[in-house]
Chains A and B, each alone.
Chain A
């Protein structure tokens, strides 16, 4: 069977620190994979290597059957198909919410203003904040900003969504609203990779859990299996820690 995304033995070092050690994983179409692990375990780097924001030192990455690992010149074409959501939202500060969502379709895909506005309005409705269309990022709560950021990524009609600790910078009462949007997208069949510490979300929305530690993928298991206790010792210890 051909995997939608296949990562084969990638390595990455920053100076003398090896942050990814021969990591391999596969993601099937429409699957939601949650990546967990202690901080500094390489989760974010793994995510950023998938859309080539972080070039790997060795190994291969296949996206929709093509080896994209050494793609440099056309990296932007690949990234157009992969949405990314960041811990700190990174909405464009000089644009209103709806302009943030419209920018990429207009400037990258060349969609005209009226159509882009329609697309953006629909997406803001989907992430439940149509009323904030004209607000600027600094006028929005963290949860609202993150939902706009999700809408912004969706505006490019990505085939894969990458979430890099999307709720880590949020106040507790706002985490839910973001996770709900993500879970809904996953349920609709959006292929997603989520780096998070939210075990509730993992239980609810993940098809598979990947556990990383010190740059290695220790465990990759279907989520029901992962949470039913038949896991590797190190993963279990981590789980015990974060679930208290």
Chain B
């Protein structure tokens, strides 16, 4: 094995581009996945019959088939209906639709974990339904759903490797192509592995940061520590978001 070659791969434009593509796929799919999940969770929350049926059907469909199947299906079948999309868009579409199903369950469990009495207290103060959601339910639910969403973020990063089958130039495809061109599997795949680990590590760090930011106690304690603020008398040891 050659360390120089691993380094060479790591800094090569094709690997950097591949890693960038993986990151872009992950971020975009996660974003749309959360949006879809949120819509589904709110539909279920609304308790209407049609809503229940729609969200059940969605979950049944997208949790019930492999992601790889969905990727291949969207890429190969949509064109025969006259819908021509780039491989990247197909990849994002498939990953988002799939992610949405899992996100819906996570977000729903978060919303349900905020007890009914908290909502009643918000309403009793004179909040409208949306104010109550925004200031009482969502801030509490956000803290509950963050760890499972962190899981999903990392899961999505790894899932994105699947779209190499429809020739999206993401990290694994680049590594595999490079490896077979140079006959240097060990070095090429090691370079890809390093990128994957670096990105998941960054995601874990991000999760810890967000968890701290959302934890009201840690937030408050951090503010109290700020001595200069205190001495200048500008300390606002309270923050309502």
* Inter-subunit contact B118/A156 (CB<8 Å): no
Q: Is A106 engaged at the interface, CB distance under 8 Å to the other chain? A: yes
* A-B contacts besides A83-B124, A84-B121, 8 pairs, CB < 8 Å: A76-B126, A84-B124, A91-B121, A99-B238, A102-B240, A113-B238, A136-B217, A156-B125
Q: Is A244 engaged at the interface, CB distance under 8 Å to the other chain? A: no
Q: Which A-chain residue is minimally distant from B129 (CB atoms)? A: A76
Q: Is A176 engaged at the interface, CB distance under 8 Å to the other chain? A: no
Contact with A along B216-241 (1 / 0, CB 8 A): 11001000100000000000111110
* Inter-subunit contact B126/A153 (CB<8 Å): no
- Main secondary structure, interface of B, reads helix
Q: Is B96 engaged at the interface, CB distance under 8 Å to the other chain? A: no
Q: In the complex, which residues 103-118 of chain A have their Cβ closer than 8 Å to any Cβ of chain B?
A: 103-104, 106-108, 113, 117
* Inter-subunit contact B127/A104 (CB<8 Å): yes
Chain B residues within an 8 Å CB radius of A96: 216, 220, 238
Q: How far, in angstroms, from A241 to B125 measured CA to CA in the complex?
A: 35
Q: Is A223 engaged at the interface, CB distance under 8 Å to the other chain? A: no
* Inter-subunit contact A86/B126 (CB<8 Å): no
Q: How far, in angstroms, from A51 to B123 measured CA to CA in the complex?
A: 10
Choose the segment among B133-141, B171-179, B183-191 that binds chain A (4+ C-beta atoms closer than 8 Å). Answer: B133-141
* Inter-subunit contact B238/A102 (CB<8 Å): yes
Q: Which A-chain residue is minimally distant from B141 (CB atoms)? A: A94
**Could you list 19 A-B pairs, sorted by A, with CB under 8 Å?**
A53-B123, A76-B131, A78-B126, A79-B123, A81-B126, A84-B124, A86-B120, A86-B124, A90-B120, A94-B140, A94-B216, A95-B240, A96-B216, A99-B238, A102-B240, A108-B127, A108-B131, A152-B125, A153-B124
Q: Is B128 engaged at the interface, CB distance under 8 Å to the other chain? A: yes
Q: Is A24 engaged at the interface, CB distance under 8 Å to the other chain? A: no
Q: Is A17 engaged at the interface, CB distance under 8 Å to the other chain? A: no
Chain A residues within an 8 Å CB radius of B13: none
Distance in angstroms from B107 CB to nearest chain A CB is: 17
Contact with A along B161-172 (1 / 0, CB 8 A): 000000000000
* Inter-subunit contact A80/B125 (CB<8 Å): yes
* Inter-subunit contact A153/B118 (CB<8 Å): no
* Inter-subunit contact A107/B117 (CB<8 Å): no
* Inter-subunit contact B127/A90 (CB<8 Å): no
Identify the B interface with A (CB < 8 A): 117-118, 120-128, 131, 135-136, 139-140, 143, 216-217, 220, 224, 236-240
The total number of A-B Cβ pairs within 8 Å is 86
Return the 3 tightest CB-CB contacts between A and B, nearest first. A80-B126, A90-B121, A84-B124
Q: In the complex, which residues 179-215 of chain A have their Cβ closer than 8 Å to any Cβ of chain B?
A: none
* Inter-subunit contact A92/B123 (CB<8 Å): no
Given A53-B124, A76-B127, A134-B220, the answer on whether A93 and B140 have CB atoms closer than 8 Å is yes
Q: Out of A81, A103, A152, A153, which one reaches B240, CB within 8 Å?
A: A103
Distance in angstroms from B69 CB to nearest chain A CB is: 41
* Inter-subunit contact B120/A94 (CB<8 Å): no
Q: Is A88 engaged at the interface, CB distance under 8 Å to the other chain? A: yes
Q: How far, in angstroms, from A93 to B120 measured CA to CA in the complex?
A: 14
Q: In the complex, which residues 17-48 of chain A have their Cβ closer than 8 Å to any Cβ of chain B?
A: none
Q: How far, in angstroms, from A96 to B240 measured CA to CA in the complex?
A: 10
Q: How far, in angstroms, from A91 to B121 measured CA to CA in the complex?
A: 8
Q: In the complex, which residues 126-164 of chain A have their Cβ closer than 8 Å to any Cβ of chain B?
A: 134, 136, 152-153, 156
Q: Is A242 engaged at the interface, CB distance under 8 Å to the other chain? A: no
* Inter-subunit contact B140/A79 (CB<8 Å): no
* Inter-subunit contact A79/B238 (CB<8 Å): no
* Inter-subunit contact B126/A104 (CB<8 Å): yes
Distance in angstroms from B225 CB to nearest chain A CB is: 13
